[in-house]
Chains A and B, each alone.
Chain A
Amino acid sequence: MKVDRRSFLGLGLGAAAGVAVTPATWKLMDDSSIWTQNWPWTPVPPDGEVTFEDTVCTLCSGNCGISVRKINGRPVKIEGTTGHPVNDGGVCLHGISALQYLYDPSRVKSPMIKTDDTWKEVSWEKALAHAAEALGNIRKADNANAIACITDNDKGTVSGLFKRLTTVLGSNNYYTMDTMEKAWATTIDAVNGVKAHVGFDLKNSDLILSFGSGFIEGWGAPVYNFQVNARRKTHGIKLIQVEPRLSNTAAAADKWVPAKPGTEADLALAICGVLITKGLYNKKAIQADDPSFKAFAKMAQEKYSPARTARTTGIDVASIQNLAMAFADAEKPVAIAGRGKGDSAGSTREFAAVYALNCLAGNINAPGGFWLMDKDPAEVWPSIEMDAMATQGFARAKFVETDTVDSLMAKVTASAKSPVEALLVYNANPCYSLKNAKAVTEAVKKIPFVISFSSYMDETTQLADVVLPSHMFLERREDVSLTGPVPLDITALTRPMVSPLFDTRHPGDSVLSLAAAMEGSVAASFPWESYDACLEAVKAPVWKALSEKGSVVKEPVSLVKKIERMDFSLLLNDTAVVAAEGDEATYPLVLMPVDNIRLTGEIAASPFAVKTVSDKVLKGTDSFIEINPETADQLRLSQGDEVTLTTPVGSAIVKVNLFDGIMPGVLAMAHGLGHTMAENPYVGGKGVNVNALVGPVMDAISGLDAAWGIRAKISRV
């Protein structure tokens, strides 16, 4: 056939018309789009009956009530429990993400033993026998006290079992991780000579004066505080935030007082001085002729006069006086301390200065005030049996006097051979969350035998010799006591929401089976068949209410009716001032770790939570430091520049984020990044752990870590 112009055009136009008219084109396009949308790997979640079950979240000290939505018994969503005394329906992003912790494929799925740096999955019997043998050998060598144990806190029956195990093995080296709760307790003990739990009745106060507390950034019981913050608008509660950086709390506050970092205590004492000078303190609560009060008054008025304090804090005299007046004018003022989320301890001087403010306001155990509470754990433990090895070990001196893991690790670091021969770690991740994390990691490496009870391959567990993995909280029944500074005494019961997904055990059962494997007096000290039996027996005084209602809520029992003693002499101690490590000449800047509500500490944040983190905090695998544009200008740095951040403790490559809300000369870096969990790429290997750049500073009074920052320098990469 001859193709001429005419037939070419005719065919072409015909084809075009045909294509336009035929449905085949559209049908094929439609089919291809349907085809590309029906891949077998696009999940189709199975439908079924919807049910809700209540439990308690134990990801932080807030212990919110949560309701788990299930489809055919399969948990799909977490919501807050309406009417719960802590969170009344609200819930934070980490609580909602708890299912990602549950289904996390990087969880430790069965017991493991490490030989020559290689992990091997083993049976529970084998892992327990291995651990029991190692502990038994230490005991046989008459060195039982060389077994140490670290837990997150000493509340509840699971911690109780760990403490009991440590004791019956023959060791007094049981430690808990630092929190502001501990710092408050030591402060109250030093001032009033009593052991107390603190609680702040923020809901009923009318002025909250916060010294660096991340009141709405995860401090204490986070959701409780969010709700207090929301009440501010309707109930006229004022918030004043003292902090060198415009944190979310400072931004939400009615007034932001940017005092120089580390001078919060000075400012609190200056306010005390003004209140005393003007006679604006509660005269019913304070005995003015008491010699200890007189000494305190003299010091506050002279040493912390507004003029002097203005120079130290950078807050002018008029502002200091205005702060004091605002505090005095309020009907129910309350002052709070505990930096950021309150996940670390802090300076006793700072806590004492803030406590003094509350004492002057006369708000101790008053509505809207500062509560000193006596919490009855309502537990009955049977007596223990100690064999000769245990008695002998227990009689030895504790490795470090104060209950602080920092000091224990420092002791290990300082010794040629680790005095700790075996370490049990439960619900704690010291290799990540303690300051100078690298030194802590080296210390843990020196310990010959480490047993981790973690559900995750966290930084400390990576260094363990045996992992006896625990059920995560949605898989287990356990009593939890509210430790956040809320003026309520709540004991709640978590309930298993699903049957355990992996070959893990309840940590309580792990302790029981480890003890059973040790035989003799150790086994005899744990007479329960299972953890459930132990829980029921130990919690017998409240078991009926606890098991039926899921929680026992008690109004706070005030510990101190009237303050018998108010001895603030510790504030006269100049060594109590906590300065940042490093010399100013070499390190002209100050680095402060800051808490970010969207990130967590010991356990890495969930994939959902990490997804919400700003690209000015984390970009790819880079962490950012916040710096004032003025300081950046002097250093010729601009947004996104890569710099080397160096402190006396370590250095890291980070990126620059310009932020007007930070004091010139100060750098801020978010806590919670830099987890090394390689198995979980959604949260591991991202950013830098700021704890590797800041060293601990032992408080002269409490011995707890009081570091709030460190001196630093930055240079272009």
Chain B
Amino acid sequence: MTQQNHGNAHKFGMVIDLDKCTGCGSCMVACMSENNVPFKEDESNKKDSITWMRVYKLTNGKSFPDTDVCYLPRPCMHCGGKGDHGHSPCVSVCPATATDYDYGTGIVSQIYTRCFGCRYCMGACPYHARFFNWWDPKWPEGMEEYLSPDVSPRMRGVVEKCSFCFHRYQAAKDKAYLEERDTVAEEEYQTACTQACPSGAITFGDLNNPDHAVHQLVNPDPHHCGRPRNPKAFRLLERLETNPKVYYISEREWVRKAGDNYLDGEWEKAKMKKTKGHE
């Protein structure tokens, strides 16, 4: 297959409809099962609980009975960095080139055997999407049988994170190559969480391809690094200019507001700007 140049580069991304998400946790387990994520006897210390995909519970802060709850699944955002040039917060700080930005897909990689565990990337990531292996993974006797050969099990001392199931992209490309096709169809490359979500809340595809559902859902603005033009869509901490490739959709205003930190009165201005569109 020919080397992809900038002209036909993909930009894989995800759109999560928070109004459809029920917080069931299928995406988390689908991810753990797909990517050989280990588990410990006690996983209730969430700071060291490795969850490439983690579902957060948000509340609107109002008292009974005006309370509302929303679940927010958080994979790696695969940030494009400022200007969407591939300078993701984590990639910029990695001294080992263990994490890198792939311009052909927009995916931020993680190469475990290159990582020497300095954890700069974890400090740099504003989304807490990265996890450190404080211990060697240990599977109960016999459970190693279910490990998949597609993703290498990690070892103590390295950082790991969501890869947008890159091995699935590789498999889809291999299949396309064998069948002498140049392109991978939308449905051929889907992440494990997208596939498992029983609510169909997660959509995955190429944000550069107007035919893909993700593009149609958020209508990314190419002049503003993919900022969503759908007023119901948002990205987490948009103002950091990390340019994530994970978008969220919600009809609920308080949920959209929860996507960033606003000073008093600031949200109203931001909203105005949004509804006016981009000049």
State whether the Cβ of B183 lies closer than 8 Å to any Cβ in chain A: no
**Cross-chain pairs A/B with CB under 8 angstroms, 24 sampled:** A42-B155, A45-B144, A45-B147, A74-B145, A76-B146, A76-B148, A77-B146, A77-B148, A78-B33, A79-B196, A90-B26, A100-B143, A227-B198, A227-B199, A230-B200, A233-B20, A246-B67, A597-B22, A611-B43, A613-B44, A619-B44, A628-B64, A630-B63, A663-B65
State whether the Cβ of B124 lies closer than 8 Å to any Cβ in chain A: no
Q: A45-B153, A227-B198, A252-B22 are in contact. Are A608 and B33 (CB under 8 A)?
A: yes
* Stretch of A29-37, A170-178, A397-405, A704-712 at the chain-chain interface: A29-37
Complex: A630 Cα to B190 Cα, angstroms:
46
Complex: A75 Cα to B59 Cα, angstroms:
39
* Cβ contact within 8 Å between B196 and A630: no
B75 smallest CB distance to A (angstroms): 14
* Stretch of A91-99, A352-360, A364-372, A413-421 at the chain-chain interface: A91-99
Query: Which of A45, A99, A662, A681 contacts B64 (CB under 8 A)?
Result: A662
Q: Which 9 A-B pairs have the closest CB atoms?
A: A90-B198, A226-B198, A93-B29, A45-B147, A661-B67, A251-B69, A47-B149, A611-B43, A612-B25
Complex: A89 Cα to B196 Cα, angstroms:
7
Among residues 97 to 113 in chain A, which have CB atoms less than 8 Å away from a CB atom of chain B? 97, 99-100, 102-106
* Cβ contact within 8 Å between A36 and B156: yes
State whether the Cβ of B126 lies closer than 8 Å to any Cβ in chain A: no
Q: Do most interface residues of chain B lie in helix, strand or loop, or is the interface mixed? A: loop
* Cβ contact within 8 Å between B44 and A629: no
Complex: A92 Cα to B27 Cα, angstroms:
9
Which residue, of B62, B65, B68, B140, has the highest number of chain A Cβ atoms within 10 A?
B65
State whether the Cβ of B79 lies closer than 8 Å to any Cβ in chain A: no
State whether the Cβ of B6 lies closer than 8 Å to any Cβ in chain A: no
Query: Which of A37, A90, A106, A246 contacts B158 (CB under 8 A)?
Result: A37
State whether the Cβ of A637 lies closer than 8 Å to any Cβ in chain B: no
* Cβ contact within 8 Å between A615 and B39: no
Query: Which of A91, A598, A615 contacts B196 (CB under 8 A)?
Result: A91
Which residue, of A217, A246, A629, has the highest number of chain B Cβ atoms within 10 A?
A246
Among residues 13 to 70 in chain A, which have CB atoms less than 8 Å away from a CB atom of chain B? 29, 33-34, 36-39, 41-48, 69
Q: A48-B149, A92-B26, A612-B28 are in contact. Are A230 and B199 (CB under 8 A)?
A: yes
* Cβ contact within 8 Å between B140 and A682: yes
Q: A77-B33, A251-B69, A608-B33 are in contact. Are A501 and B142 (CB under 8 A)?
A: yes
Among residues 133 to 178 in chain B, which have CB atoms less than 8 Å away from a CB atom of chain A? 136-137, 139-149, 152-158
Among residues 341 to 358 in chain A, which have CB atoms less than 8 Å away from a CB atom of chain B? none
A236 smallest CB distance to B (angstroms): 13
State whether the Cβ of A469 lies closer than 8 Å to any Cβ in chain B: no
The chain B residue sitting closest to A606, CB to CB, is B29
* Cβ contact within 8 Å between B43 and A43: no
B144 smallest CB distance to A (angstroms): 5
Query: Which of B25, B64, B65, B140 contacts A93 (CB under 8 A)?
Result: B25
State whether the Cβ of A467 lies closer than 8 Å to any Cβ in chain B: no
The chain B residue sitting closest to A107, CB to CB, is B142
Among residues 206 to 223 in chain A, which have CB atoms less than 8 Å away from a CB atom of chain B? 216-217, 222-223
**Residues of B with C-beta under 8 A to A615:** 44-46
Complex: A611 Cα to B41 Cα, angstroms:
9
Complex: A662 Cα to B64 Cα, angstroms:
7
Complex: A91 Cα to B139 Cα, angstroms:
24
B133 smallest CB distance to A (angstroms): 10
**Residues of B with C-beta under 8 A to A682:** 39-41, 140
**Residues of B with C-beta under 8 A to A634:** none
**Residues of B with C-beta under 8 A to A96:** 26, 29-30, 33, 196
* Cβ contact within 8 Å between A620 and B44: yes
Among residues 1 to 60 in chain B, which have CB atoms less than 8 Å away from a CB atom of chain A? 17, 19-20, 22-26, 28-30, 32-34, 36, 39-46, 49, 51, 55, 57, 59
B9 smallest CB distance to A (angstroms): 29
Q: A80-B198, A103-B143, A230-B200 are in contact. Are A660 and B25 (CB under 8 A)?
A: no
State whether the Cβ of A248 lies closer than 8 Å to any Cβ in chain B: yes
Which residue, of B23, B34, B154, B157, has the highest number of chain A Cβ atoms within 10 A?
B23
A625 smallest CB distance to B (angstroms): 16
Complex: A246 Cα to B39 Cα, angstroms:
30
* Cβ contact within 8 Å between B195 and A79: yes
The chain A residue sitting closest to B196, CB to CB, is A91
Q: A37-B112, A216-B22 are in contact. Are A222 and B198 (CB under 8 A)?
A: yes
Q: A36-B155, A230-B200 are in contact. Are A660 and B67 (CB under 8 A)?
A: yes
Among residues 608 to 635 in chain A, which have CB atoms less than 8 Å away from a CB atom of chain B? 608-615, 618-620, 628-630
State whether the Cβ of B70 lies closer than 8 Å to any Cβ in chain A: yes
**Residues of A with C-beta under 8 A to B125:** none
A662 smallest CB distance to B (angstroms): 7
State whether the Cβ of B197 lies closer than 8 Å to any Cβ in chain A: yes
The chain B residue sitting closest to A82, CB to CB, is B195
* Cβ contact within 8 Å between B196 and A229: no
State whether the Cβ of B201 lies closer than 8 Å to any Cβ in chain A: yes
Complex: A609 Cα to B65 Cα, angstroms:
30
Q: Using a Cβ–Cβ cut-off of 8 Å, how many residues does chain A contribute to the interface with B?
A: 80
A45 smallest CB distance to B (angstroms): 4
State whether the Cβ of B261 lies closer than 8 Å to any Cβ in chain A: no
Among residues 266 to 283 in chain A, which have CB atoms less than 8 Å away from a CB atom of chain B? none
Q: A39-B136, A230-B20, A660-B63 are in contact. Are A89 and B57 (CB under 8 A)?
A: no
**Residues of A with C-beta under 8 A to B127:** none
State whether the Cβ of B113 lies closer than 8 Å to any Cβ in chain A: yes
Complex: A609 Cα to B29 Cα, angstroms:
7
* Cβ contact within 8 Å between A660 and B62: yes
Give me 9 other A-B pairs in contact (C-beta within 8 A), A45-B149, A79-B196, A226-B199 excluded: A36-B155, A36-B156, A43-B147, A47-B149, A76-B148, A78-B33, A612-B51, A618-B44, A661-B59
The chain B residue sitting closest to A629, CB to CB, is B63
The chain A residue sitting closest to B156, CB to CB, is A36
State whether the Cβ of A124 lies closer than 8 Å to any Cβ in chain B: no
State whether the Cβ of A650 lies closer than 8 Å to any Cβ in chain B: no
Complex: A665 Cα to B22 Cα, angstroms:
26
What sequence of 0s and 1s flags, for each residue 643-667 of chain A, a beta carbon within 8 Å of any chain B beta carbon?
Answer: 0000000000000000111111000
Complex: A48 Cα to B143 Cα, angstroms:
18
Complex: A78 Cα to B141 Cα, angstroms:
20
* Cβ contact within 8 Å between B22 and A226: yes
State whether the Cβ of B262 lies closer than 8 Å to any Cβ in chain A: no
State whether the Cβ of A71 lies closer than 8 Å to any Cβ in chain B: yes
**Residues of A with C-beta under 8 A to B63:** 629-630, 660
A677 smallest CB distance to B (angstroms): 13
**Residues of B with C-beta under 8 A to A41:** 136
Among residues 51 to 99 in chain B, which have CB atoms less than 8 Å away from a CB atom of chain A? 51, 55, 57, 59, 61-65, 67-71
Complex: A258 Cα to B41 Cα, angstroms:
37
State whether the Cβ of A184 lies closer than 8 Å to any Cβ in chain B: no
* Cβ contact within 8 Å between B69 and A661: yes
State whether the Cβ of A87 lies closer than 8 Å to any Cβ in chain B: yes
* Cβ contact within 8 Å between B113 and A230: no
**Residues of A with C-beta under 8 A to B55:** 612
**Residues of A with C-beta under 8 A to B157:** 33, 36-37
Complex: A229 Cα to B198 Cα, angstroms:
10
**Residues of B with C-beta under 8 A to A327:** none
State whether the Cβ of B267 lies closer than 8 Å to any Cβ in chain A: no
Q: A93-B24, A611-B39 are in contact. Are A45 and B69 (CB under 8 A)?
A: no
**Residues of A with C-beta under 8 A to B254:** none
Which residue, of A37, A620, A682, has the highest number of chain B Cβ atoms within 10 A?
A37
A92 smallest CB distance to B (angstroms): 5
* Cβ contact within 8 Å between A611 and B51: yes
* Cβ contact within 8 Å between B20 and A246: no
Complex: A316 Cα to B45 Cα, angstroms:
43
